[in-house]
Amino acid sequence: MSNHANRVKWSRYVWGAWVQPKHSFCSWLVFCGSLLTEDKLIQRGITDSSKCHLCEQHRENTKHLFFECSFSKQVFTGVKVLLSITSDTRNANWEWKILFAQCCRGGVVVEILKVYISATVYHLWAERNTRKHSGKKTAARIILEKVLKETKFYLQHSYQ
Ligand SMILES: [Zn+2]
C-alpha cells in the first residue's frame, strides 16, 4: 500500500469528530511515522541510545512504543476494560487491526472509541517525553486515570 493510501486509511481513525485536536495531531504523527523516537535520533546521529523510555527493556521505535511496550499495554488494557473491548492481547498486530476496523465504521460508540484511543496515544507520548527529559516517572495506573478524567471532562463539557 502506498504512503498516501496509508495516510488516508489512518486519517479515518485519527480525525474523529469528537477527538481533541492536540490528540488528533499526535496520533497523526504516530501513524505517519513522524514522531522523533530514539531509533530516528540514532539514524540522525543525535543520540547513541535506543532504549524505550517507558519499559526500559527494548529498542524504542513507534511500533514498540504504541503497539508492543509492556507499559503502554497496561494503559491500553485499562482503556479497553472501560470500553468493554475484548480482544486477543497475545497478538498486538491483530488486536490493533480489530480496533482500527472498528474505528472505520460510523456511529457514536466509534467516535467515543476514537476519543479514548487518541487520548491514550497522546498521554503515552507525553509520559515518554517527561521520562526522557526530566527522569520523572508516572505509574501506568495514574496515566490511565489522566486519560479517563480528561476524556470524560472533555466529552461532558464539549457535547452537552
Ligand atoms: Zn517499551
Q: Measured between alpha carbons, how far is 115 from 103 in angstroms, rounded to an integer?
A: 10
The confidence score (pLDDT) of residue 101 equals: 65
Distance 11 CA to ligand 1 centre (A): 25
- Tell me the three cell numbers of residue 5: 493510501
Protein residues placing their CB within 5 Å of the ion ligand 1: 52, 54-55, 69
Under DSSP, the state recorded for 51 is B
The confidence score (pLDDT) of residue 77 equals: 87
The confidence score (pLDDT) of residue 93 equals: 59
Largest CA distance in the chain: 49
Distance 60 CA to ligand 1 centre (A): 7
The confidence score (pLDDT) of residue 2 equals: 46
Structural domain that includes position 27: 3-158
Residue numbers in the chain where pLDDT is lower than 50: 1-2
Taking the mean position of all CA atoms in its chain, how far away is CA 142? 16
The confidence score (pLDDT) of residue 95 equals: 62
Distance 6 CA to ligand 1 centre (A): 25
Q: Measured between alpha carbons, how far is 108 from 145 in angstroms, rounded to an integer?
A: 23
- Overall domain count for the chain: 1
The confidence score (pLDDT) of residue 97 equals: 62
